[in-house]
Structure 1
Amino acid sequence: MSKNTGKNTGRASVSFVEQNRRADRRRNILIQIAVGAVLIGLVVAIGISVVAKKSANDASSAPQPTAVSENGSIRVGPADARVVVEAVEDFQCPACKQFEAQSGTTLSEIANSTESVAVDYRPIATLDRMSSTEYSSRAANAAYCVAATDSAVFEQWHTTMFAQQPPEGGSGLTDQQLVEIAKSAGASSNDVADCITGGRYRETVSANTNSMLDEGISGTPTVKVNGSAVSDLSPSGLQAAVTAAQQ
């Protein structure tokens, strides 16, 4: 009986050791799995962070000149104006040229006659198809290039641009011609010229054009006073809309 008891004890000891070894292997496997999961989590987190940073950079990649508001408008007048006249224009648009010839001086007078009224010019490019060189986008880019100098220069440039508007269906003005118009208005720095020829704000133009279309703008010129559309774009009509908004 004593011999049999010794054999059983030996077998039990071997089984106990084997169980410990197996338990150790299981623990090691679980530790490895846990470490792997942590590493995978870190890799995923880093990947998400990189993608998020890239998306943020892409979203803010379109540069904005300092004279332009967050919504893409070029303001002439006080930043805290109580009444804002918004003029959405395309430099290839014949009706916009007519509006500038008829009421451009009135807009300038409105923006400079009182501290409570401002004019927001919003150049967009919906008529690139009407030239062989995407003139609408190039001209709107030039608007932002000039606006980065000062508002007084922008107004003179704005008037000259519409006075020299090229006919639809042609090649439009060249970049060098746009540079010369900027120079004639007083924006004669090399930076302005490089901005025009390099298309510095083309992405800005595209983003602002899409924004305007999303807002329901269906044609140019579109004029609003404090968000309300103005149907009478004559000098008297604009003055009446501004006067009503001031009351």
Structure 2
Amino acid sequence: MTKQPRTPRPSGNAPRPSGDPGRRAATAQMRAERERAERSARIRRRTVIGGATAAVLALAAGVAFAVGGSSGHGAADGPLVVPANAGGADGTVITYGKADAPHTLEIYEDFRCPYCGQLETTDGKTIQQLADAGTYKIEYHLATFLDQGLGGKGSRTALAAAGAALNEGVDKFKQFHDVLYANQPDERNDGFADVNHLLDLAGQVPGLKTDAFVKAVQDGTYAPWAGQVDKAFEKSGVTGTPTVKLDGQKLEVFADGAAVPPEQFTALVKQVTG
């Protein structure tokens, strides 16, 4: 989770006895990481880098990464083009689900955030199923601040491509959104900065790669819009990704450094919706 330390992934080996030095070292490391997580709640814009020995890097608050200077990625100061199907007062919110749903689930994400990827791969199907059933509609609020902390432009470029998908349709956006998380690179690898890679991934969404979509991704048509979306995230007051709110109430979708299982996510929703 952005601004929380990454818990070491299970190795698949049998558990070690409690007295094993390796386990004691891992426990000490996890305790230190939890302490860092508590400190990070008081610091704006922190993110995770590294693998099993994750290090926390503080990011400057309120500064969006500017895309520009290279062909095929667009320029932050280019003309603002808002994709069709964008919502909210300034076209920075992406809504999926039935418009008359009685509840609203807000999801704050960064395409480069590993914890966002974990949430989506663990609970994404359940999140969508509940929306499709009319329990709530989903409002996506996307950010690009990881580019600033980690270097590169993958968050911004992926968001601009997602804008091109949104222009093709909300369902196309949702499918492309899911494909991006299913193929998310390590956060240190700026893989989403490559528009050709994004276009290859778009090929997994039936009917998405229209001529208009391909041109918009290659030209960075929606890069300025991606900047506007990130600014809206900055103004939201949300300090970490992923953050999930149901009718304004934050859901604790992570426990012990891992996304809660689908049945627990459903239970959290029922606690709010009744």
Normalising by structure 2, report the TM-score: 0.63
Cα distance per residue 1:3-46 (max 9 Å; x no partner): xxxxxxxxxxxxxxxxxxxxxxxxxxxxxxxxxxxxxxxxxxxx
CA contact 1:90–1:127 (8 Å) conserved in 2: yes
Q: Is the 8 A contact 1:130 1:168 kept in 2?
A: no
CA distance in 1, matches of 2:244, 2:167: 23
Aligned to 2:220: 199
1:182 aligned partner, one-letter code: A
**Deviation for aligned residue 1:150:** 2.2
**SS of 1:162's equivalent?**
helix
Structure 1 unaligned segments of length 5 or more: list them.
Answer: 1-60
* Equivalent residue number for residue 84 of structure 2: 66
Q: Which 10-residue stretch deviates more, 216-225 or 159-168?
A: 159-168
* Alignment of 1:150 onto 2:169: yes
Mark the structure with the bigger radius of gyration. Answer: 1
Q: Quote the Cα distance in structure 1 between the aligned partners of 2:178 and 2:119.
A: 11
Distance in structure 1 (CA, Å) of the matches to 2:195 and 2:161:
9
**Correspondence for 1:236:** 263
2:244, 2:253 within 8 Å by CA — same for their partners in 1?
A: no
Alpha-carbon deviations, 1:163-214, whole Å to 9, x = none? 2112223332310111121222121101111111211222222122122122
Aligned to 1:217: 238
Moved more, 162-171 or 76-85: 162-171
Gaps spanning 5+ residues in structure 2: where?
1-78, 255-259
* Bigger helix share: 1
**RMSD, aligned α-carbons:** 1.9
Q: Paired residue for 2:34?
A: none
* Aligned residues between the structures: 186
Q: What residue in structure 1 maps to residue 122 of structure 2?
A: 102
- List, as ranges, runs of 4+ consecutive aligned residues in structure 1 with deviation greater than 6 Å: none
The answer as to whether partners of 1:88 and 1:221 remain within 8 angstroms in 2 is: yes
Give the aligned partner of residue 57 of structure 1: none
- Normalised to the residue count of structure 1, the TM-score between the two structures is 0.69
- Counting aligned pairs with the same residue, the percent is 26
Amino acid at match of 1:244: Q
Kindly indicate whether the alpha-carbon contact (under 8 Å) linking 1:130 and 1:170 is maintained by their aligned counterparts in 2: no
Deviations along 1:18-77, one digit per CA (max 9) or x if unpaired, are xxxxxxxxxxxxxxxxxxxxxxxxxxxxxxxxxxxxxxxxxxx63221221125222111
Deviation at 1:117, TM superposition (A): 1.6
For 1:110, the aligned partner's letter is L
